[in-house]
Each structure stands twice: as C-alpha cells, then as structure tokens.
Amino acid sequence: MSSNLERQANAEPVSAAPSHVPNHVAFIMDGNGRWASSRGLPRTEGHRQGLEALRKIIRHAALRGVGIVTIYSFSTENWSRPEPEVRFLMGLLRRFVQRDLSELHRENIRIRIIGERDNLDAGILKLLLDAEELTRNNTGMELVVAFNYGARQELTAAVKKLCEKVARGEIEPSAISESHISAELDTVGLPDPDLIVRTSGELRLSNFLLWQAAYTEFYFSDLMWPDFDEAALDQALECFGNRDRRYGGVTAQAL
C-alpha cells in the first residue's frame, strides 16, 4: 500500500523554492511520542525534539515567504495526558517563549496566542501575554500559538457572546452572518489557513480550527513531527502549489 505522502504529493524531493507559497500554514505537530518510543526514549524526549523541529520550521517558513504560521501546541484535550507529561509540555512552552522570544522579536516575527485563557497557570499566561505585547508592532511573519485551544470550545464561546449581544438588543438573530461568528472567534482578523499540515500519518483534524478550515487544503505527512524538516516543508508547499482550489466553484477551463 502506498503511504500518505506518496498518495498525495507529486512526491519528488524539492530542492528549489516552491513556486506558489500559501499565506497561512497551520501545523498539527503529531508523533512526538511515537518518535521517542520507537527509539526506546521517554515521550518527553520526543517533545523536546519536537521543539527543535518547530524552531527550524518557523525559520524556514519565514524564509519561504509564508505570512502566518499557526501551531497546535496544546489542545484542550491534552490535559487528559499523564500529569508529568502535561507538566513537561508546560515547561517546554515556557522555555520556548523565554529562550526564543528575543530572537523571534529580532526577526520581526509577531506572536499571537489563541485558546482558552481561563484556568491557565498565571505565570504561563503572563509570559504569553508579554510575548504578544513585545511583538505587537512587528511586521514580519505572524506566529500563532494555539495553546489550550479547542475549536468546539472556541465556537461555543462565540455562540455565547453572540447570544449575549442578542439579549442586550445589540443585534437581531436574523442579522447574524458568518462574519459575526468569525468576529467572535480567537482568530478574529486572521485569514483562514490555506494549508494545514499534519504529521505522523494520522488523518484527523482533532478539534483544530474547525470553522476556519472550511476551504483549507490538507497535507498529511508520514513523518513523525521531530523528523519534519525544511525539505519536508518544501515538499508540502510544493504540493499545495499544485492544488486546484475551487471553493465550491468550477475551474475556468471547465467552463
């Protein structure tokens, strides 16, 4: 049976820069645990290597001209993992922000955090808010960190806020449009992702950007996230460049 990669890509290795680069690429960084287990290492080592892969991918995406990178760093469902692993992931995020923030800032990268902020450790929340504040006026690539994020929770919160507006008489139910819903989401103002990349061979969205991904292209890689490198990103970008995005319409040639 052919792999996901073989099935979907025109899977030649890519050496040159991809021709048509998506503006917004989102990553589901899956497979850290399996990467580690297959080497007889603790799962936490997989996350540590996952962070190294992330660092490379951020720089390479910026180099390729990607405008926005969104990363699914911790989902609302990830709290159900063993407590030491959750603590490790929190520590990793803390280290990422503390260690990389000044460099990201120097590279003109703007950081934005999406996800539920209630019930977050106060120290982590402050770190995230400070990172947003420090980089607010940067004009380079935007790095959106989905942390404690779940799309259903995001949509539920949006529905509540709209209901409150209705209850206060600020909007008529019949006047509610798609843009009103988008405006209540954490991603307000962000263009929808053009491409979502998921590693590790899993073919799921896992409660990630459900509303925003209505017309997103998907790319599934069989690589475990710690192995996802610059060449793998180029291959994903190249594959995107060959897609025919019709948004429910028909191509000009078909008319």
Does residue 92 belong to the site contacting ligand FPP (CB under 6 A)?
yes
Does residue 29 belong to the site contacting ligand FPP (CB under 6 A)?
yes
Residue 35 or 158: the one with the smaller Cβ distance to ligand FPP is 35
Which residues are bridge partners to 24 per DSSP? 68
- E strand or H helix at 104, and its extent? helix 83-106
Tracing tokens 């590790």 back to the chain, one arrives at 200
User: Rounded CA gap, 233 and 57, in Å?
Assistant: 7
- Candidates 27-35, 134-142, 176-184, 188-196; binding stretch for ligand FPP (CB under 6 A): 27-35
Residue from 54, 127, 196, 209 touching ligand FPP (CB under 6 A): that is: 54
Residue 30 is among the residues annotated as catalytic for this protein: yes
Contact 153, 77 (CB under 8 A): no
Does residue 93 belong to the site contacting ligand FPP (CB under 6 A)?
yes
Does residue 199 belong to the site contacting ligand FPP (CB under 6 A)?
no
Residue from 4, 14, 24, 30 touching ligand FPP (CB under 6 A): that is: 30
Give the active site residue among 4, 30, 100, 234. 30
Does residue 34 belong to the site contacting ligand FPP (CB under 6 A)?
yes
Q: Which two tokens stand for residue 162?
A: 């709209």
CB proximity list for 66: less than 8 A, separation 6 or greater: 21, 22, 23, 24, 25, 141, 237
Instruction: Count CA atoms closer than 13 A to 125's CA, side-chain side.
Output: 9
Catalytic residues: 30, 78
| Chain contacts with ligand FPP (rule: CB under 6 A) | 29-34, 47, 50-51, 54, 73, 78, 89, 92-93, 96, 200, 225
